[in-house]
Chains A and B, each alone.
Chain A
C-alpha cells in the first residue's frame, strides 16, 4: 500500500527562492528518505532521516521529521535552475519490508 504522499504535486518558483515540499505517511517508520529524479534519469538519494531525529541538513537541503504528525518536509534554499526535478519521499520500516515511495513533487525552478 502506498505510504508517503508528497504535497504539493507540482511547485514552480523563481531561481533564488526557497522550495518546500511535504511528505505525509500513515504507519510507524524506521527512517524516511528523500530522492531526486531528473527527467529521464534514475533516482538519486538526497538525505535519510531516522525516526529518532528531528532535523537534518545537507548543503542547501534541510529535512525535518515530525513522527507525531507522521510528516516530513524538504526545504531547498536558494534554489537553482538545476534543482528542477521530481522529489520523492520514501519510508522505511523494520525487517524486510521494502521502502515505499510517494508519487513525488515536480519542482520547476525558473531562471
Chain B
C-alpha cells in the first residue's frame, strides 16, 4: 500500500509550458508539504497545508500554485516553466500542524526537467 504517492514520476517539458504534479496520501494525515530538491541534493520547503489551508509559503515564485481539494490531496501547478525549475519535487505529509515535531512521510518524488 502506497502511503504518499505522486504522479507523474518523470516530467520532461519545454520552457514556457504549464504543468501539474499530483500528490495523494492515505495515512489520514492533516498536514501536507511540497519540497524542492536541487541537483546538489539540497531539500527546501516550498509550501505547507493543514486541513486544506495554506500555513507555510516560503519564498517561491507565484508561478507555483498549490491546490488542496481535500486533506488527502495536495497538487502543485507550475506556470511558465523556466530552466531553473528543473529539480526533484517531493510531496510529504504528517500529523497535525506541529508536523515539525513529528516525522514526515515522503512521496517518491517527481523529477522535472525543463528543456
Q: List residues of chain A with CB under 8 Å of any chain B CB.
A: 2, 30-31, 33, 35, 37, 40-45, 48, 86, 88, 92-93, 96-101, 103-104
Distance of B42 from chain A, by nearest CB (Å)? 5
Of A33, A42, A103, the residue contacting B41 (CB under 8 A) is A103
Q: List residues of chain B with CB under 8 Å of any chain A CB.
A: 4, 33, 40-45, 48, 55-56, 58, 90, 92, 97, 100-109
**Given contacts A42-B90, A43-B90, A88-B43, are A99 and B56 in contact (CB under 8 A)?**
no
Q: Are A48 and B103 in contact (CB under 8 A)?
A: yes
Chain A residues closer than 8 Å to B109, beta-carbon distance? 40-42
Q: Are B100 and A43 in contact (CB under 8 A)?
A: no
Q: Are B44 and A101 in contact (CB under 8 A)?
A: yes
Chain A residues closer than 8 Å to B106, beta-carbon distance? 35, 42-44
A93 to B45, CA, bound (A): 14
**Given contacts A41-B108, A43-B106, A45-B104, are A101 and B43 in contact (CB under 8 A)?**
yes
Q: Are B40 and A103 in contact (CB under 8 A)?
A: yes
**Given contacts A42-B90, A103-B40, A103-B41, are A98 and B100 in contact (CB under 8 A)?**
yes
Q: Are A92 and B56 in contact (CB under 8 A)?
A: no
**Given contacts A30-B100, A88-B43, A103-B41, are A98 and B58 in contact (CB under 8 A)?**
yes
A26 to B68, CA, bound (A): 33
Of B33, B41, B48, B103, the residue contacting A45 (CB under 8 A) is B103
Chain A residues closer than 8 Å to B43, beta-carbon distance? 43, 88, 101
A100 to B45, CA, bound (A): 8
Query: Of residues B43, B92, B105, which shows the largest number of chain A Cβ atoms within 10 Å of its Cβ?
Result: B43
Query: Of residues B56, B97, B103, B108, which shows the largest number of chain A Cβ atoms within 10 Å of its Cβ?
Result: B103
Chain B residues closer than 8 Å to A45, beta-carbon distance? 103-105
